[in-house]
Structure 1
């Protein structure tokens, strides 16, 4: 065991790529030991671990389906066994299937419900039980809960549930000095966002922000690091990290 009572410890679900990877690397740069979670791509998770350790940080890869409480209990156990505790849980894992309400395959609705709602609930439940006093839980929503773009109804429904869960959990953590917040990214250049979009669609979404660009995973990771670290008076909130998108 390589435990430390002074080093803060984070677990980042979906940490093998995109926003999750940027978040894991950002928290490691802040001096945290990091559990890099993956659901299917162990090799990519190990690449993130290698990047963190090469820079002098501490990290391990842990796997499991976020909606499977047994698998995630094992992931939490592994992080605690390696680093001696857990202070920050960031739940970036999610899936997005786009279609109009009239056309959406209900199997896709169920898949999104399982990962985005049940998965967030499972991870939040374990975090509520195991994060040390003074810690932070950060879930993920989406800025489309505001922009309400056609085709996003099922995805937005799942993320609206995450926002509701986040606020109530923040209130349930009273007396623990644990903050619970959500980050709602705008259009961000990740495979999840770019998949299935035309160049014209991507350019239009980039131009919709006053900063006239897509967000980068590092932009979102900066917001997470703020909530995970110095932002102790922000609690029960959804932080829209979207470059000023309406």
Structure 2
């Protein structure tokens, strides 16, 4: 039996990223029929995952590990009120736009360069905030927020964007895609897996890659990711061919 951890965007998604590519649907069904467990692990928030996708998986890890769904079971990791208000105060001091993520929606706080109404702080539902996201241009501000995140015991994902901004995602302490997978394993009652196969294309997949027996990168990879994967599928088609072959050669 193997546990497959699969990313969506850049790996299983169709061209417009609205659903699973048709080539993968029979493969996913075959893997599960052969006794393997298949878990989707994505950075998308729960409300941004199309409803047609979860039925093809034993569990779905979203928001980079802050949200886990398996059947009717739900687990959400939330930021504390102190964490949110401390970060928000710093952002508003800098007049910095940011996003507040809930399981069912994302609320934008526009503080500059927008005609959107600024939402009052006190409208936050602190029990349900799973992440905060922002984009910074200043390296000094980025370093300041990384220091603040460490002080506030937050997990941080950071990556550059094409417009020279650095995107930061602030998550509850210890949250990663793989921590979400571990929660999913408990929900599914998996006691032992002979192999973990992790498939992804980004820095947020590193914890899964480092914990996997087989780590597969897809497409163009960051050097840090390239250094830890065992094999790189240059295209989703190449990945589909490998998965189909693996499924035929392995059973429960």
Relative to the length of structure 2, the TM-score reads 0.36
Larger RCO (CA under 8 A, 6+ residues apart): 2
Decide which structure has the larger Cα Rg and report it: 2
Q: Which has the higher helix share?
A: 1
Which structure has the highest strand share of the two?
2
